Structure 1
């Protein structure tokens, strides 16, 4: 007798149905719905991400061929292509954004509570990634003359490397514009690349006791106010306090900042860092900026393992729904990796889930011992196994 639902059913069961329907009511997502509920829509889009479905046909066909296993998901019927397409175009994408933040709260409770550094400040990374689009299919996402694009802006928490803030904008919007909107708590440390250089932003963060670590622009004009001693036998070349010289630079950022020059052995070059944190050691400042690479790895994992480069709908609403569902799926995968005793890499976990979505296994036993937990056979098939005279066709048909 089968005592477990499929892996996909157990994954979907991790989402609180009551909280989901509260979001549906808040956003009025089913005001004009007829038969195809928001829960069915969410299950279909989550299946698109975890099963790597490339089109509406694959989503609907994949769910239809597993119809007997959908009752555990709370889904009565697999959607038609036209129904799913209409839902992607008209259901509010804000529902999926709020569901992302609800899922994030659950992941934070399961994840590690501290980053790898000794200081107690919250460590974050801020960056964006451009998602290229075909301008003829996505005319609303005009980026350049012949190209279309949207930007995914993320704030990554280094406690478990979870995305704590996400924003989707058009490709033309500058990163600094979004950085001004990102909610940051006092005494947190934000690591970012050179694209976020803005003196007014630096002054705002300094005045609100928010620390940053970034790279200094090559053409920055400044005066060295104080030279500090550098640690012996480290890759630190200089540690100085500076003040900007330009009229507008002084007007926008009159504060004293710190410049740390680091020697990169791998690239054989100097890296000039800029920060407003005066107390941490220069070696720690260098390690903070090096750990910023984790957000680049997050974007790489997101694009390689989930569906954020090709889309099943061409409207802005459909694209936003698919990207937010991809972020929800990433949180789900992170949650499983936090709970697992097995040393999963993210790409392997995504691949193994895709191959076993509709197999009857205990989810928590499987993520701990993926090669020791065997799939459970349905009772109807077990009863047929002793009859060796049955052909393969009869066995499949259950006759």
Structure 2
């Protein structure tokens, strides 16, 4: 079944160590995960609706439950440790089949965050403005090409935490990183350069720069200037040299791109920065197609669990997508899987491969 890639054996070992399920007689952590992934797939409206789903004999066999109440689901959702679910998410990430990238400088990773807003009356612990509440999902996305991305690292914080505060946690290994101007941090830029980590970002309009050298740019192209610069003023100045590329975006607006890459053409760096849009599309997909607009619980633990389960849900579909090597969208795959959810994994993979071949022939 679709949940087969989840390492439930490792989960069981962790549960035995912490004795989290020691006195559980009915709703185990494994059954909880299966039920809430089922709720994600079918976009169940509430815990009462999910409890009714256990009338399904297939779901009973998968979870070992003959019945469950909404109250029991709520208690479990409020007590499962989010770090356990994060562990499962990271294990699924490790199974992603990325294209081999021998040069770490060519491995593109996009960093950004999105705020998930909530009703301040229902979630008072999540207040970040007078009339607003929410949590922030900080994410690192691996970019393998157009339409080929997967989440690699996620951090959940209150919505009032500034993006810069999580930058070091998300930029922690050699690669090429892309992020927006909300992450501008001169000290961090120096650390990245000193530690062999490359980045491309957008520089704020009011940033102070000093030109050290100018490079020739092609005439008639999008690149307006290409310079080696010092960044900052006398009080707050970065120690390393950086590269400032002034370019035009697709709408003709001027953008200032800051990077510590001097070995790539300016046009390629402009293209790399534009790939940042992939994470915006990912956040849009996540909010439209998984259960994040309505939460099954109001505690911080319940909210974090639901967000992490939504990432697990996405990874499971992505693993199916990679297994099939299909051009079908994740949304199309989810529709297929709803109809074949209880088939053995080999059987539904065979059927989906057959369906994919038919779809490819049509196109």
- Per the TM superposition, whether the score is higher than 0.5 is yes
Partner of 2:153: 165
Partner of 2:12: 21
Does 2:163 correspond to 1:143?
Answer: no
Q: Distance in 2 between matches of 1:167 and 1:183?
A: 12
Q: Deviations over 1:314-371 (max 9, x none)?
A: 1111111111111001100111111114321122222333354346892212322338
Partner of 1:304: 288
| CA contact 2:111–2:170 (8 Å) conserved in 1 | no
Q: Distance in 2 between matches of 1:167 and 1:82?
A: 29
Partner of 1:98: 87
| CA contact 1:342–1:367 (8 Å) conserved in 2 | no
Q: Distance in 2 between matches of 1:208 and 1:140?
A: 38
Count of aligned pairs between the two proteins: 354
Residue of 312, 333, 345 corresponding to 1:328: 312
CA distance 1:297–1:114, shift in 2 (3 Å):
farther
Q: Distance in 2 between matches of 1:183 and 1:371?
A: 37
Q: Distance in 1 between matches of 2:344 and 2:279?
A: 35
Q: Distance in 1 between matches of 2:357 and 2:112?
A: 40
DSSP 3-state at the match of 1:161 = strand
Residue of 56, 60, 66 corresponding to 1:77: 66
CA distance 1:131–1:27, shift in 2 (3 Å):
farther
Q: Which structure's CA Rg is the greater one?
A: 1
Superposed displacement of residue 57, structure 1: 1.4
Does 2:74 correspond to 1:89?
Answer: no
> Which has the larger displacement, 53-62 or 316-325?
53-62
Partner of 1:131: 116
Compute the RMSD of aligned alpha carbons.
Answer: 2.2
DSSP 3-state at the match of 1:12 = coil
| CA contact 2:39–2:50 (8 Å) conserved in 1 | yes
Does 2:34 correspond to 1:56?
Answer: no
Q: Deviations over 1:86-126 (max 9, x none)?
A: 0011121111011111111122xx343359xx985321000
Does 2:54 correspond to 1:67?
Answer: no
Please list every run of 5 or more consecutive structure 1 residues that lacks an aligned counterpart in the other structure: 1-9, 374-399
CA distance 1:358–1:58, shift in 2 (3 Å):
farther
Does 2:193 correspond to 1:206?
Answer: yes
CA distance 1:190–1:84, shift in 2 (3 Å):
same
Please list every run of 5 or more consecutive structure 2 residues that lacks an aligned counterpart in the other structure: 359-363
Superposed displacement of residue 170, structure 1: 0.2
| CA contact 1:236–1:261 (8 Å) conserved in 2 | yes
> Which has the larger displacement, 329-338 or 22-31?
22-31
DSSP 3-state at the match of 1:70 = helix
| CA contact 1:128–1:175 (8 Å) conserved in 2 | yes
Does 2:215 correspond to 1:228?
Answer: yes
Residue of 317, 339, 350 corresponding to 2:334: 350
Superposed displacement of residue 24, structure 1: 2.1
| CA contact 2:6–2:88 (8 Å) conserved in 1 | no
Superposed displacement of residue 147, structure 1: 0.8
Q: Distance in 2 between matches of 1:31 and 1:183?
A: 38
> Which has the larger displacement, 239-248 or 254-263?
239-248
DSSP 3-state at the match of 1:34 = coil
Does 2:164 correspond to 1:176?
Answer: yes
Partner of 1:285: 269
Q: Distance in 2 between matches of 1:270 and 1:325?
A: 39
Partner of 2:21: 30
